[in-house]
Structure 1
Amino acid sequence: MTYEHILYDVSGRVAILTLHRPEKRNALNAAMVTELQAALDAAAKDPAVKVIVLKGSGEAFCAGADLESLQQLQKNTREENLADSRALMALMKKIYYHDKIIIAQVEGHAIAGGCGLVTLCDLSYAVPEAKLGYTEVKIGFIPALVSVFLVRKIGEGRARELLLTGRLITAGEAATYGLITQAVPAGEIDAHVARVAEDLCNNASGNSLKVTKRLITRVYDLPLDEALEHAAAENAVTREHADCQRGIQAFLDRQKLTW
């Protein structure tokens, strides 16, 4: 697929997806949402890709919905707005349930829908200068879809504070809240994310990463006994997988594995 609003590159076993509308502060529109879904599908199907990094061009990570999209919302029918919301929902679910680990590299502000993208990633690193937040209530809108994921990630109390006030927080605060993994100085973030991605590629089984991510997403809403039964079943299946057998044998033989 030819991309207009994103860049898609593969380096080693890492796919790098770059939001590429710097003149619009990488604001989301329907075309970018579609392209992001296609790029995530491409990375999912590529056996050479083990980790995905999501980043932005220019000064911002992502400023949320662009002005043209917001203007169009005022003209849409309810059915059109529902279809648009479902397209964004599909993108969010694709990130959340993706088989491969997705890392957000946030080198500028991540606002509203842009902060939503960060929320969905498995790991996220941001420069201290970046501001993050969900500002929808300040324009009479609601942070509808992201609220479902944010409550899961940081808990109801923190989610209420951020979503109801629309307050922008620093990367340091975001790390304290559990919204991002860590704040990393601007001069170090490229190398830091590359090291994290390389470590995941070389020191963890691809199947183990996939199944562990799936466990985290599945067991959250299950009753305790049902969650434990699900975990036990996944445990039993994983023991039969070639990665597990190879990994245990290497451990017993005191050999260093490179996955």
Structure 2
Amino acid sequence: MELTSKAVEYQLDSGVAWIKLASPRSGNALNATLISQLSRAIQEAINDESCRVITISAMGSDFCKGLDLEEAFAKGGLPDQEFFKILVDCLTLIHSSSRPVIACVEGNVIAGGVGLVAACDIVLASNNAVFMVSEVIVGMIPAMIAPFLLRRLTPARLRYMALSSRGISAPEAQIFGLVDEVVTEGTSKTLNRQLQRLFCSSPHAIAQSKQYFEQLHSVDLHQQTELALNEQMSWLKQPEVTEGIRTFTEGFSPPWFQKYKGQTHV
């Protein structure tokens, strides 16, 4: 079965659900349309008994440039809680899927896009992939993606990525734990090798393993995402925060933008 839409392409072939983010002009930004269609594609794959593996890739030079800020604050400049909720629900659906989910990453991955990658079970990244947790630059906090990043990164690594807002390469991301395998011989060949291994594995054992691993966490994902949503909305209710984000989305520098003029004493 094949479903092609404006924001997401979906095809199920030979037991593999091929899902592709298909909004390259926007850098595959996470707007309501893309998030909803991605969730629908994931759910359709889960509901199909013939599906053994789900893959997520993207068109264009950007895998995902993160949240569509204009849409997230479309309601009179105020944050739309429902918008943030459908995002966390989508990431939870990916993470909790009974089918293994493979992210095939090429290009830039920013903010919410990093959360999308972290929600997947297996991450294959090309050498040109760059990962950046950049929320603090626009005056936000990475509350929504943190529960998923903490399932891959140590708290120290997450703190570093969030506070430094530095883009890290695929090899460095592999050291951090965000990437499982850096592609050196072509994505298709690397992915095919992984698919062969998954198709030799028991689907029930894979599903049960995922469920068991989640039970090992001291705080379950539902509690963490509830906290994430509350923390995010509490932060965004501050007028000076939303004003700074609005200024950024309009192409101007928010008040915290400054150029360091001191000397480096090292």
Q: TM-score, normalised by structure 1?
A: 0.80
Q: Look up the equivalent residue of 1:191 and give its one-letter code.
A: K
**Aligned twin of 2:131:** 132
Alignment of 1:23-102 (within 5 A): 23-66=25-68, 68-70=70-72, 72=74, 75-76=77-78, 81-102=80-101
Alignment of 1:1-259 (within 5 A): 3-66=5-68, 68-70=70-72, 72=74, 75-76=77-78, 81-185=80-184, 188-201=186-199, 203-221=200-218
* Residue identity (%): 30
The structure whose residues are more often helix, as a share, is 1
The Cα shift of 1:28 comes to 1.2
Equivalent pair of 1:51/1:102 in contact (CA under 8 Å)? yes
Q: Look up the equivalent residue of 2:133 and give its one-letter code.
A: Y
Equivalent pair of 2:126/2:182 in contact (CA under 8 Å)? yes
Equivalent pair of 1:147/1:163 in contact (CA under 8 Å)? no
Instruction: Look up the SS of the partner of 1:204 in the other structure.
Output: coil
Distance 2:50 2:155 in 1: 38
Gaps of 5+ in 1: 223-259
Q: Look up the equivalent residue of 1:216 and give its one-letter code.
A: F
Please give the per-residue CA displacement for 1:204-255, whole angstroms capped at 9, x wherever unaligned.
Answer: 0000000001111122117xxxxxxxxxxxxxxxxxxxxxxxxxxxxxxxxx
Distance 1:164 1:48 in 2: 43
Using a 3 Å threshold, how does the CA distance of structure 1 residues 74 and 169 change in structure 2: closer, same or farther?
farther
Q: Look up the equivalent residue of 1:41 and give its one-letter code.
A: Q
Instruction: Look up the SS of the partner of 1:61 in the other structure.
Output: strand
The Cα shift of 1:73 comes to 6.5
- Structure 1, 24-33 or 213-222: larger mean CA deviation: 213-222
Please give the per-residue CA displacement for 1:47-80, whole angstroms capped at 9, x wherever unaligned.
Answer: 111100000011111111235325527623x5xx
Q: Look up the equivalent residue of 1:43 and give its one-letter code.
A: A
Distance 1:21 1:67 in 2: 16
Q: CA RMSD in A?
A: 1.8
Instruction: Give aligned pairs, total.
Output: 218
Distance 1:137 1:89 in 2: 19
Distance 1:218 1:158 in 2: 23
Q: TM-score, normalised by structure 2?
A: 0.78
